[in-house]
Amino acid sequence: MESHSSLSSSSSSSPPSSLSSESCCVKVAVNVRPLIGDEVTQGCRECVSVSPVTPQVQMGTHPFTFDHVYGSNGSPSSLMFEECVAPLVDGLFHGYNATVLAYGQTGSGKTYTMGTGIKDGTKNGLIPQVMSALFNKIDSVKHQMGFQLHVSFIEILKEEVLDLLDSSVPFNRLANGTPGKVVLSKSPVQIRESPNGVITLSGATEVPIATKEEMASCLEQGSLTRATGSTNMNNESSRSHAIFTITLEQMRKISSISVVKDTVDEDMGEEYCCAKLHLVDLAGSERAKRTGSGGVRLKEGIHINRGLLALGNVISALGDEKRRKEGAHVPYRDSKLTRLLQDSLGGNSKTVMIACISPADINAEETLNTLKYANRARNIQNKPVANKDLICSEMQKMRQELQYLQATLCARGATSSEEVQVMREKIMKLESANEELSRELHIYRSKRVTLDYCNIDAQEDGVIFSKDDGLKRGFESMDSDYEMSEATSDIGAAEEWEHALRQNSMGKELNELSKRLEEKESEMRVCGIGTETIRQHFEKKMMELEKEKRTVQDERDMLLAEVEELAASSDRQAQVARDNHAHKLKALETQILNLKKKQENQVEVLKQKQKSEDAAKRLKTEIQCIKAQKVQLQQKMKQEAEQFRQWKASQEKELLQLKKEGRKTEHERLKLEALNRRQKMVLQRKTEEAAMATKRLKELLEARKSSPHDISVIANGQPPSRQTNEKSLRKWLDNELEVMAKVHQVRFQYEKQIQVCVFKNLFQSCLLSANFFLINKPL
Ligand code: ADP
Ligand code: MG
C-alpha cells in the first residue's frame, strides 16, 4: 500500500489548544560501546571514563553530564530501552509522537544500538525491543479499542530520500556495492509541506502491519536494502540516514457529556488518535577526511556532512536559550534530514538522542565532538501534543467555548441591565441631591443677603449724620448700594461654584458612561471575534463533512456498480469479490450514517451559535443605548455651560452698568456734599448776620426805651429839638425793616435748599431700589 505518509500528525506550529501540550527537553543518553576487533588488535586504550554514580562522562578533565550513560562503568546497555524508549512507546498510545535518534561517528555502534543492522539487528537493538513492547501493549488493550499499524522505512542518501520498503527497488544494490548508482523504477520520495506546516512524504511505502513478525520482516527488508559502502573505519557502517517509522492509529468509542444539552451525547462516536515513532539511525558524524576515501565515497561524505551540519545548526539554534527567545531562524530547510526531523527537534515530539561513542583513544577527537554535540541537544525544548482526533476534540473545544461564551453573554446581559438600572438610580439620586443643594444654596444666599444688610445697619449705627434725618437716610441707602454690589459678586461666586459642581458631577457621570461603554465595546469585540471564528470554523467543518460524505457516497456508488457487475458473472472468485464488496459497502453505509449524524450535530451547534449571536446583538443595542445616554449627557453639559456663560456675561454687564451708575451717584453725592457745605457756610454767615442784626435791634430797642427819659431830661434841662427825634426814629425803623427783610430772605433760601436735597435723596433711593430689583431678578 502506498500513500502520502505524514511524518507528523499534527503541526507543531498550530497545536490544538485544548489538547494536552507540555514542554519537555530532548533527553540525551550516551552509549559507550566496548573496544572492538580492530581497536583491540591495534592495542588502543580507553580514553573516556564513566562515573558509576552520576550520569557523567569524563574526557580528559572535561566532564559531560547527560540524562543517562550506558556501557563502560555506567548503567548496563540492557536498561537503555526500559529507561529511554519504553516511555515513548507508552506515549504513542496516548497520541504523542516520538523520536529516537542514534548519533555518533561511524563504528560507534549506532546501527547496533538501533538494531537496524542485518547482522545483529533483530536481537539486541532498540527497534526489536520497541516491536515487542508495542505488540505486548496492543495485546493487553486490544479488547478496548481498535488498532491500525503501519511502518515505513526510508533513507536519506546524498540528499535524496529513498524508500527502503519499495519492493520494486532491486536488491542487488548491496550485492554490486554501488549504492551511488541505485536505479529506482519509480520516482523518489518527495518531501512536502502542507499549508499548516505538516511535513509529509509523498510516495513512501506504508506497509500495514498486523503482527510483530510482519514488522520485523519490514525492518529486515529495509536494512538489507539500505545502502552501505565500505570505508576505512567500518566495513558495513552506513553513510546514509535511515528512518524507520511506526504509525499507530487507535479508535476508541467515547461518550461525552454534551455541554449544550447537558445530556450524554453518544454522537461523539469514536475517538481517533494517531501517533508516530521515528527510529533514526544517523550516518557517521566523523569528518569526511577520516573516511579516507576519495571519489564517490568522498562525495557521499560531503552529503552526509551536509545533513549532519544542518542538524548541528538546528541543534545550536534550538539549544541556545538566548537565540530561541530572540526567535532566531532555525535552519530546518537546509537539508532533507532536518526538514524531516522538524517536529522531532523543537516540535511536536518526545525525543531521545542516543549518542554512541567509542572509548578508543584513536577516536578521542570524534568522541569529544560527539559529546559536545549531544550535550547541546539537551537544551532543545520540544512541545509534544497528544494527537487526538481533531474533529472530535475540536467539536468538544468549540462546544466548551460556545458554552463559555453563552454563559459570559448571559452574565453580561444581566450585568448590563443591572448596571443601567443602578446608574439610573444613581442619576436620580444625584438629581434630587442637586435640587436639594440648590434649594439650600438659595436659602443660604437670601439669609446671607439679609445678614449682610443687618451688618451694614449695625456698622453704620455709629456713623454720624446728625444734622438731618433725610440726608442720613440718603447716604445710608447710597452706602448700602455699594455693599449690595459686593453681595452680588458673592452671589455670582456661589452661582459659579454651583455651576462647577454641576459640571464636575456631570463630567464624572460622563466618564463613568464612557468607561462602561468602552468595557461593553471590548466585550462586544471579544464576543464578535469569538463568534465569528466559531462561525467560520463550523462552516468549514460542515463543508468538510459534506465533502467527506460525498466522497464516501461516491465510493459506495462505485462499489454498488461493481457489485452489480460482479452479480452478472457467476464464477467463484467473483462471488468472493462480491462478498468483499458487500462487506465494504456495509462499512461505507455505516460511515455515511456516522457522517450524517456528525453533520446534524454540527447543525445543532450552529443553531446554538445563532442564539449567542442574538445575545451579541442585544449587547450591541445596549451599547447604542449607552452611547445615546452619553450624547444626551454631553448635550446637557454643553447647554448648561452655555447657559452659565450667558448668565455670567449678563451679570458682568449689569455689574459694569451698576458700577457706572455707582460712580455717577458718588459724583452726585460729592457735588451735593460740596453744595451742602457751601450752604452751611452761607447759613452760618446769615445766622451770624441775623444775630448781629438782632443785637443791633436790641440795642436800638434799648435806646428807644431810654429815649423818653432822654426826652424828659432834654425837656427838663435843655429840651431836644423835634426834628432830631423824628430823624433817629426813622433811622431805627429803617434798620429794623432791613433786618426783618434779610431774615426772611435767609429763611426762604434755607428752606429752598432743604427741599432740593430731599428731592435728590428721594430720586437716588428710587434708582437704587430699581438696581436692586434688576440684580435679584431671576435668570
Ligand atoms: P555504526 O552504525 O555507528 O557505524 P555499528 O553499529 O555498525 O556502528 O557498530 C560497529 C561495530 O561495533 C559492529 O561490529 C558492532 O557489532 C560493534 N558494536 C557496536 N556496539 C557494540 C556493543 N555495545 N557491544 C558490542 N559490540 C558492539
Ligand atoms: Mg551504522
For ligand 1, mutation pick of 78, 112, 223 (most atoms within 8 Å of CB): 112
Ligand 1 center–CA 242 separation, angstroms: 16
For residues 266-290, give the mean pLDDT.
Answer: 76
The pLDDT value given to residue 178: 42
Mean pLDDT over all residues of the chain? 76
The pLDDT value given to residue 346: 85
Residue that wins the pLDDT comparison between 368 and 285 = 368
Report CA 625 to chain centroid distance, whole Å.
Answer: 26
Flag the least confident range among 72-81, 129-138, 191-200, 278-287. Answer: 191-200
Q: Which residue ranges are tagged as binding site for ATP?
A: 104-111
The pLDDT value given to residue 402: 76
For ligand 1, mutation pick of 30, 31, 33 (most atoms within 8 Å of CB): 33
Which residue's CA lies nearest to atom 12 of ligand 1? 109
Report CA 313 to chain centroid distance, whole Å.
Answer: 35
Give, in order, the Cα–Cα distances in Å from 329 to each of 325, 372, 383: 11, 22, 18
Cα distance between residue 644 and residue 504, in whole Å: 14
Residue among 130, 139, 141, 124 nearest 88 (CA)? 130
Q: Highest-confidence range of 22-31, 174-183, 478-487, 548-557, by mean pLDDT?
A: 22-31
Q: Highest-confidence range of 109-118, 159-168, 427-436, 651-660, by mean pLDDT?
A: 651-660
Ligand 1 center–CA 480 separation, angstroms: 120
Residue spans of beta strands (DSSP E) within 330-436: 350-357, 381-382
Which residue's CA lies nearest to atom 10 of ligand 1? 107
The pLDDT value given to residue 230: 37
pLDDT of residue 759 exceeding 50, the answer is: yes
User: Residues near ligand 1 with C-beta < 6 Å?
Assistant: 33-34, 36, 77, 104, 106-112, 117, 120, 234, 236-237, 284, 356
C-alpha torsion sign, points 320, 324, 325, 327: positive
Ligand number nearest to the C-alpha of 125: 1
The pLDDT value given to residue 475: 37
Q: Highest-confidence range of 279-288, 386-395, 627-636, 650-659, by mean pLDDT?
A: 650-659
For residues 694-715, give the mean pLDDT.
Answer: 69
Ligand number nearest to the C-alpha of 80: 1
Residue % of the chain over a pLDDT of 90: 19
Ligand number nearest to the C-alpha of 228: 2
The number of the ligand 1 atom at minimal distance from the alpha carbon of 237 is: 4
For residues 215-224, give the mean pLDDT.
Answer: 89
The pLDDT value given to residue 144: 81
pLDDT of residue 271 exceeding 80, the answer is: no
Which residue's CA lies nearest to atom 22 of ligand 1? 33
**Banded pLDDT at 70 (limits 50, 70, 90):** very high
The number of the ligand 1 atom at minimal distance from the alpha carbon of 120 is: 16
Residue with cell 462471488: 575
Residues with CB under 5 A from ligand 2 (ion): 110-111, 237-238
pLDDT of residue 599 exceeding 50, the answer is: yes
Ligand 1 center–CA 415 separation, angstroms: 72
Output DSSP code: residue 777: S
Residue spans of beta strands (DSSP E) within 68-194: 68-70, 98-104, 146-157, 160-163, 190-193
The pLDDT value given to residue 747: 83
For residues 382-406, give the mean pLDDT.
Answer: 73
Grid cell of 371 as nine digits? 559529546
Q: Residue 449: helix, strand or coil by DSSP?
A: helix
For residues 323-348, give the mean pLDDT.
Answer: 86
**Banded pLDDT at 132 (limits 50, 70, 90):** very high
146-157 and 160-163 beta bridge pairing: antiparallel
Ligand 1 center–CA 239 separation, angstroms: 14
Q: Residue 366: helix, strand or coil by DSSP?
A: helix
Q: Highest-confidence range of 270-279, 462-471, 505-514, by mean pLDDT?
A: 270-279
Kindly report, residue by residue over 611-651, the tens digit of the pLDDT: 878 877 888 888 888 888 888 888 888 898 899 899 989 99
Q: Highest-confidence range of 81-95, 168-182, 530-544, by mean pLDDT?
A: 81-95
HSE (side-chain half, CA atoms, 13 Å) at 302: 5
Give, in order, the Cα–Cα distances in Å from 360 to each of 23, 75, 239, 288, 436: 37, 19, 21, 19, 100
The number of the ligand 1 atom at minimal distance from the alpha carbon of 236 is: 7
The pLDDT value given to residue 151: 95
Residue among 411, 408, 392 nearest 531 (CA)? 408
**CA-angle at 742, arms to 738 and 744, nearest 5°:** 120
Residue that wins the pLDDT comparison between 84 and 749 = 84
The pLDDT value given to residue 239: 72
Ligand 1 center–CA 108 separation, angstroms: 6
Residue among 64, 606, 114 nearest 371 (CA)? 64
Q: Which residue ranges are tagged as binding site?
A: 104-111
Which residue's CA lies nearest to atom 19 of ligand 1? 109
Name the region of 615 (left: φ>0; alpha: ψ -120 to 50; beta: rest).
Answer: alpha
Contacts of 161 (CB under 8 A, 6+ apart): 154, 155, 188, 189, 190, 191, 201, 204, 336, 340
Residue % of the chain over a pLDDT of 70: 71
pLDDT of residue 69 exceeding 90, the answer is: yes
Output DSSP code: residue 267: G
The number of the ligand 1 atom at minimal distance from the alpha carbon of 33 is: 23
Roughly how many angstroms between the first and final C-alpha of the chain, as a whole number? 97
Residues facing 63 on adjacent strands: 58
Ligand number nearest to the C-alpha of 110: 1
Which residue's CA lies nearest to atom 9 of ligand 1? 109
pLDDT of residue 727 exceeding 80, the answer is: yes
Residue that wins the pLDDT comparison between 450 and 99 = 99
pLDDT of residue 343 exceeding 70, the answer is: yes
Name the packing angle between helices 364-377 and 295-319 (round to 10°).
40
Which residue's CA lies nearest to atom 5 of ligand 1? 109
Ligand number nearest to the C-alpha of 120: 1
**Cβ atoms of residues 419 and 624 within 8 Å:** no
The pLDDT value given to residue 708: 54
Helices (runs of H) and strands (runs of E) counted in the chain: 17, 19
Flag the least confident range among 4-13, 296-305, 629-638, 693-702. Answer: 4-13
Flag the least confident range among 72-76, 186-190, 527-531, 696-700. Answer: 527-531
Residue among 495, 482, 500 nearest 445 (CA)? 495
Ligand 2 center–CA 300 separation, angstroms: 15
Ligand number nearest to the C-alpha of 121: 1
For ligand 1, mutation pick of 30, 31, 32, 36 (most atoms within 8 Å of CB): 36
Grid cell of 535 as nine digits? 462561525
Cα distance between residue 683 and residue 661, in whole Å: 32
The pLDDT value given to residue 354: 96
The pLDDT value given to residue 367: 93
98-104 and 270-281 beta bridge pairing: parallel
Q: What is the torsion angle, in degrees rounded to the nearest 10, for the CA atoms of residue 648, residue 651, residue 657 and residue 659?
A: -100
pLDDT of residue 63 exceeding 80, the answer is: yes
The number of the ligand 1 atom at minimal distance from the alpha carbon of 119 is: 16
**Banded pLDDT at 439 (limits 50, 70, 90):** confident
Kindly report, residue by residue over 442-495, the tens digit of the pLDDT: 787 777 666 655 554 444 444 333 334 443 343 344 444 444 444 444 556 667
pLDDT of residue 571 exceeding 70, the answer is: no
The number of the ligand 1 atom at minimal distance from the alpha carbon of 106 is: 4
Ligand 2 center–CA 106 separation, angstroms: 6
Name the packing angle between helices 722-775 and 572-716 (round to 10°).
170
Which residue's CA lies nearest to atom 24 of ligand 1? 33
Cα distance between residue 57 and residue 458, in whole Å: 108
The pLDDT value given to residue 299: 55
Cα distance between residue 48 and residue 38, in whole Å: 18
Ligand 2 center–CA 108 separation, angstroms: 8
For residues 586-602, give the mean pLDDT.
Answer: 82
Cα distance between residue 324 and residue 197, in whole Å: 19
Ligand 1 center–CA 580 separation, angstroms: 48
Cα distance between residue 709 and residue 269, in whole Å: 164
Residue that wins the pLDDT comparison between 510 and 232 = 510
The pLDDT value given to residue 277: 95
Flag the least confident range among 378-387, 389-398, 501-510, 713-722. Answer: 713-722
The pLDDT value given to residue 253: 67
Ligand 1 center–CA 110 separation, angstroms: 7
Contacts of 241 (CB under 8 A, 6+ apart): 155, 156, 157, 280, 281, 282, 283, 304, 307, 337
Kindly report, residue by residue over 240-252, the tens digit of the pLDDT: 899 999 999 988 7
Name the packing angle between helices 390-460 and 572-716 (round to 10°).
0
Q: Residue 188: helix, strand or coil by DSSP?
A: coil
